[in-house]
């Protein structure tokens, strides 16, 4: 590879804890890897498992969820719902061949600006080590097999795929 692989990480942060922590990291001028794109939600309970899969399907190399620590949810227990879903979703994602490092749930309170930095840097390093996921290009690669037919079907009646053996 000529160019260094830069992971794309989509992060879903709850507004009260982790989004605020990321703001704090900014106010404190902490420096971390620029590979993360944050999407704000009110509560980690809002994070639909579809969002995580959607992010992967559209080219995310990693997905990070950030919520309030257990017991600290601004909405009392939204983060527990998030935790329960994450447990099973992690299994689904891994069963579907996605490395476990690519999907991460972290509790980061509004005071833990430094933790945003550590977690992001850590995740970027881990994903750099395992390489790109980039599902859209894999989808394209899979679907390339359908072009074989386009090349032949209009010319002859019969299947005449040339044997390469």
Sites for another protein among residues 63-82 (CB under 8 A)? 70-72, 74-78, 80-82
Asked if 96 interacts with another protein (CB under 8 A), we say yes
- Closer by beta carbon to another protein, 5 or else 37: 37
Q: Which residue from 7, 43, 66, 106 is in contact with another protein, where contact means CB under 8 A?
A: 43
Instruction: Assess 107 for contact with another protein (CB under 8 A).
Output: no
By CB under 8 A, the count of residues binding another protein is 91
In eight-state DSSP terms, residue 4 is P
Using alpha carbons, select from 78, 82, 80 the residue that is nearest to residue 65: 82
Question: Would you list the DSSP string of the chain?
Answer: --SPP---EEEEEETTTHHHHHHHHHHTT----TTEEEEEES-GGG--HHHHHHHHHTT-SEEEEEEPPTT-BTTBSHHHHHHHHHHHHHHHHHHTT--GGGEEEEE--TT-HHHHHHHHHHHHHHHHHH----HHHHHHHHHGGGHHHHHHHTT-SS--PPP--
Min dist. Cβ of residue 55 to another protein (A): 5
Query: Which residues within the stretch 12-41 sit at the binding site for another protein (CB under 8 A)?
Result: 15-17, 19-20, 22-23, 25-27, 29-32, 34, 37-41
Residue from 2, 47, 66, 129 that binds another protein (CB under 8 A)?
47
For the bound state, the minimum distance from the C-beta of residue 93 to another protein, rounded and expressed in Å, comes to: 8
124-153 binders of another protein (CB under 8 A)? 133, 135, 138-139, 141-146, 148-149, 153
């Amino acid at each position: 590879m000529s160019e260094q692989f830069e992971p794309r990480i989509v992060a879903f942060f709850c507004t009260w804890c982790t989004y605020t922590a990321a703001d704090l990291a900014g106010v404190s001028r902490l420096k971390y890897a620029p590979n993360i794109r944050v999407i704000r939600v009110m509560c980690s309970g809002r994070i639909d498992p579809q969002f995580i899969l959607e992010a992967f399907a559209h080219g995310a190399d990693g997905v990070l969820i950030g919520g309030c620590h257990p017991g600290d949810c601004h909405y009392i227990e939204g983060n527990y719902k998030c935790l329960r879903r994450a447990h099973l979703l992690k299994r689904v994602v891994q069963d579907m061949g996605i490395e476990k490092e690519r999907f991460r749930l972290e509790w980061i309170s509004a005071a833990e600006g430094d933790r945003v930095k550590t977690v992001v840097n850590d995740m970027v390093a881990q994903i750099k080590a395992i390489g790109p996921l980039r599902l859209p290009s894999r989808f394209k690669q899979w679907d390339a097999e359908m072009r074989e037919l386009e090349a032949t079907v209009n010319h002859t009646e019969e299947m005449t795929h040339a044997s390469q053996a």
